[in-house]
Amino acid sequence: MKIIVTGGAGFIGSHVVDTYIRAGHRVSIIDNLSTGSRRNINPRAKFYKADIRDPQSIEKILKNVKPDVVNHHAALASVIASIKNPNATFEVNVLGTVNLLRAFGTIKNAEKFIFISTGGAMYTTTKLPASEKIPPSPLSPYGLSKLLGEETVKFYAHTLGFNFSIFRYANVYGPRQNPHGEAGVVAIFKEQMKRGERPTIFGDGTKARDYVYVEDLAKASVAALTKGNGGLFNFGLGKLVTDKQVFDTVAEAVGFRKTPRFAPVRPGEVQKISLDAGLARRVLGWKPTTSFEEGVRQVASSK
């Protein structure tokens, strides 16, 4: 298949590109390299440096590539940045998505749009692990932008006539995650510990997340090429890992002996979230195989 992966120079998108290429697909990448890097780009993919906020260049690229599938990972993915500057987040995550959807609708062979959303920033519930049946209640402009993005996908898929799947990811970690942002705690802790610095835990260490290993997740994008049309799926291990457990697991993997620093909780962050991936397992056959401890060891030994 001919597939465009937006955000294919970023952390998760680049693993999705690699997985598609290994499965024999022809992949093009659209990325503006704002948080992504040329180092992550698979040499067998065609790279278009472009901004999804620019409808003309997006239309031109899609007309040129004529993709069967668009897998849309490009986004501003930071909760904290979305609170500081919500407009930028809405412009990329909502209007950028609209530009892609409208351009995709002009392609004759347009088959399917796969939209990457968030589960980690979508629910405020104590019913954990959260299934897709829990009504969304985002706490941040980032979560809201993804919810609006999901609705634009449903609208344009129905009106322009192509299939879609929506993926709500839990916290993703793995090799190539940027350690210099505000999110990506495994990568951040690893870098700081390797420099001998004491990482900061925001809160008392009991805030908890569901961590899914990036290579496990990338397999879902392959399954969605043939399955899951019209579906919305949560992805996670269904397990809560506290911030203190993340600290301890990374410390163990890199041999760090000092204690963490503690700072006040940041606004917009959910206290506890884990996701029920039962639907993804049943419909897409998705099965994560990497435990948190094993995944952290992989990260610790990666560059």
Ligand X SMILES: NC(=O)c1ccc[n+]([C@@H]2O[C@H](COP(=O)([O-])OP(=O)(O)OC[C@H]3O[C@@H](n4cnc5c(N)ncnc54)[C@H](O)[C@@H]3O)[C@@H](O)[C@H]2O)c1
In the complex, the smallest distance separating the C-beta of residue 185 from ligand X, rounded to whole angstroms, is: 9
Name the residue with tokens 């620019």. 54
Residues near 197 by Cβ (< 8 Å), separated by ≥ 6? none
Distance CA 146, CA 55 (A): 19
Stretch that binds ligand X, among 154-162, 170-178, 197-205, 246-254 (CB under 6 A): 170-178
In the complex, the smallest distance separating the C-beta of residue 279 from ligand X, rounded to whole angstroms, is: 17
Positions in 91-110 near ligand X (CB under 6 A):
92, 96
Stretch that binds ligand X, among 63-71, 115-123, 253-261, 281-289 (CB under 6 A): 115-123
Residue 51 vs 248, nearer CB to ligand X: 51
Distance CA 197, CA 192 (A): 5
| Binding flag, residue 295, ligand X (CB under 6 A) | no
**Inter-residue contact 86 to 58 (CB < 8 Å):** no
Positions in 74-93 near ligand X (CB under 6 A):
74-77, 92
Positions in 2-41 near ligand X (CB under 6 A):
7, 9-13, 30-36
**Inter-residue contact 131 to 166 (CB < 8 Å):** no
- The one catalytic residue in 48, 142, 156, 169 is 142
What is the residue-wise DSSP string for 119-178? STTT---SSSSBPTTSPP--SSHHHHHHHHHHHHHHHHHHHHT-EEEEEEE-EEE-TT--
In the complex, the smallest distance separating the C-beta of residue 255 from ligand X, rounded to whole angstroms, is: 25
142 annotated active-site: yes
Residue 52 CA neighbour count, 13 Å, CB half: 33
Active-site residue set: 142
Residues that bind ligand X (CB under 6 A): 7, 9-13, 30-36, 51-53, 73-77, 92, 96, 116, 118, 120, 169, 171-172, 178
